[in-house]
Amino acid sequence: MNVSNTWLVLALVFLLFEAVTVQLVSLWFIVGAIFAFIASLFTPSMSVQICIFVLSSVISLLLLRPFLKKTIKTKPEDINLGRYISKQAIVTSEINNVLGVGEININGSIWSAQSTDETVIAEGEMVLVEAIEGVTCKVKRLEQK
């Protein structure tokens, strides 16, 4: 396999890697490999080809990255968990921290639950959501009036 084909194979490998990751990690190397391939058509010197590969990769990184970051904006997904804090919920399955069980229903959503005061809370009781950690609501029993 001649050197020109090597640059094309490298460009394809970087392209496949970019397609799999979609993180703009190897895009610059694709550009560099293409320029190195073009250089290999004009010069047999491997050191010149490698220099062109490195320089064109760095230049494409410096020129394209800011442009692509502006055009490809990712918005953080707002899952709005704060709306459940300080809300009342009903226990749908006994909350027992020792056994690691418990569920609540809050606004129609079922959540895993743990008691903040380490007490067992029976099914059907009302609780107050104090915090959310991961997919678990930290709750305390509402005072009976």
Residue 54 has pLDDT above 80, yes or no: yes
Torsion, Cα 123 145 85 135, to 10 degrees, reads: -10
The secondary structure of residue 115, as a DSSP letter, is E
The answer to whether the beta carbons of residues 89 and 106 sit under 8 Å apart is yes
Residue 74 has pLDDT above 70, yes or no: no
Of 9 and 68, which is predicted with more confidence?
Answer: 9
Over residues 65-72, the mean pLDDT reads 79
Residue 78 has pLDDT above 70, yes or no: no
Whats the size of the chain, residue-wise? 145
CA angle at 28 for the pair 25 and 31, rounded to the nearest 5°: 140
pLDDT at residue 145, rounded to an integer: 54
Q: Which residues of 3-40 are buried (b: 16+ CB within 10 A; e: fewer)?
A: bbebbeebbeebeeebeeeeeeebbbbbbbbbbbbebb
Residue 24 has pLDDT above 60, yes or no: yes
Structural domains in the chain, CATH included, are 3-71 (no CATH), 81-141 (2.40.50.140)
Distance CA 59, CA 24 (A): 15
Q: Is the dihedral of CA 59, 65, 68, 70 positive or negative?
A: negative
Arithmetic mean of pLDDT over the chain: 88
